[in-house]
Amino acid sequence: MARRVLILRNPAAGRGGAAQAEAVAHAAAARGLAVEIAAPEGAEALGQAVRAAEADVIGLAGGDGTVRVAAPALAERALPVALIPTGTANVLALETRAPRSPDAIAALLAHGVPRPLPWGRANGAPFVVIAGAGLDGMAALHAEALKKPLGRAAYWAGIARASLAAHRLSVSLDGRPPMVADWVLCTATRRTPRRVGARLLVATFTGGPALRPMQLAAVAASRLAAAPGVQLAPFRTAHITADPAAPTQVDGEPLGMTPLTLIAERAPVLLLRAEG
């Protein structure tokens, strides 16, 4: 029996999403897969489509926001998913070295190996790449208007504008005594570029403006463990407060202001990766 593939396309994500989804579907069908395409509109409809899918694997055409809103349903169903990057930044696709060509994506749908992708919730909102508070949240605010013209570079333009901001955050992990930090990130990206860890980690940044350039360089290179003034810790629940309140973000999207509660979900998303 042919492997059943459901390609779900976010109609609002990026340009050329429909054409890319069709190209992947054609390449998958050429490999003998049974393929259907759907374009649910909105987060609720996307989640419902995943939960109702009569498929063996999912192809998800969109950007980081598309993966983020689909994550709860994907984890609940334990359906392996292949990324079809058609969003603005596609950070998760870059971090996991997801293929871009329709034939390579079709090969993942046919023969990819499911690997766990950790994800979490920030004040109830799912995230799969990163969540943060302080400088990171302010950068997301500044970047919002720049995403269409600059794409992924909008985030770094936002960081440049936010880099002189001063925040004092209180971070408590799993009920332990709070730590003080200048800003906070939560991510599964660890020491080496484009390596996704098996669980989410909270990174707390201290040292003020003097260490900030080195810390930002470490974030860009996914080498947080080697950065000065950075502590990494696994967690199940993290609670972050600030006085005055600090901006927060999930997957590069402004979320609101602190307090921020982060929860590391136990059931991962199963991301299809190349064999070996």
Q: Assess if residue 33 is contained within a domain.
A: yes
- Alpha carbon dihedral 178, 263, 113, 108, in 10-degree steps, equals -110
Q: How far apart are CA 191 and CA 32, in angstroms?
A: 39
Query: Structure pTM?
Result: 0.90
Containing domain of residue 19, as a range? 4-111
Tokens linked to 244: 């005055």
201 and 97 assigned to the same domain: no
CA distance 246 to 258: 5
On the question of pLDDT at 181 being above 70, the answer is yes
Q: Do 144 and 260 belong together in one domain?
A: yes
Residue finishing a domain among 79, 111, 143: 111
Reply yes or no on whether the pLDDT at 164 is more than 80: no
Domain total for the chain?
Answer: 2
Residues 66 and 136 in one domain: no
Q: Are residues 99 and 147 in the same domain?
A: no
Summarize the confidence of residues 178-187 as an average pLDDT. 95
Q: Look at 234 and 150; give whichever has higher pLDDT.
A: 234
How confident is the model at residue 193, as a pLDDT?
Answer: 37
Tell me, yes or no, whether 79 lies in a domain.
Answer: yes
120 with 167: CB under 8 angstroms?
A: no
Is the pLDDT at 276 greater than 70? The verdict is no
Q: Is the pLDDT of residue 205 over 50?
A: yes
Same domain, 167 and 212: yes
Could you give phi then psi for residue 130, rounded to 5 degrees?
-165, 150
Whether the ω angle into residue 259 lies within 30 degrees of 0, i.e. cis, is yes
CATH number for the domain harbouring residue 102: 3.40.50.10330
Q: Which of 12-16, 93-97, 125-129 has the lowest mean pLDDT?
A: 12-16
The domain that holds 197 is classified in CATH as 2.60.200.40
C-alpha of 151 from chain center = 15
Measured CA to CA, the distance from residue 212 to residue 181 in angstroms comes to 12
Sort strands 253-257 and 230-234 into parallel, antiparallel or unpaired. Answer: unpaired
Both 134 and 52 in one domain: the answer is: no
| Radius of gyration of the CA atoms of the chain, in A | 19
Query: Cβ(149)–Cβ(203) under 8 Å?
Result: no
Task: Tell me: do 132 and 95 sit in the same domain.
Answer: no
What's the average model confidence in pLDDT over 173-178? 97
3-class DSSP string for 2-35: CCEEEEEECCCCCCCHHHHHHHHHHHHHHCCCEE
Position 47: which residue type? G
Max CA pair span of the chain: 61
Q: Are residues 71 and 198 in the same domain?
A: no
Q: How many CB atoms lie within 10 A of CB 253?
A: 17
pLDDT value of position 240: 98
What's the pLDDT at 140?
Answer: 87
Per-residue pLDDT reduced to its tens digit, 51-104 = 999 999 999 999 999 999 999 999 999 999 999 999 877 888 988 889 999 999
What is the sign, positive or negative, of the torsion defined by CA atoms of 203, 183, 261, 73?
A: negative
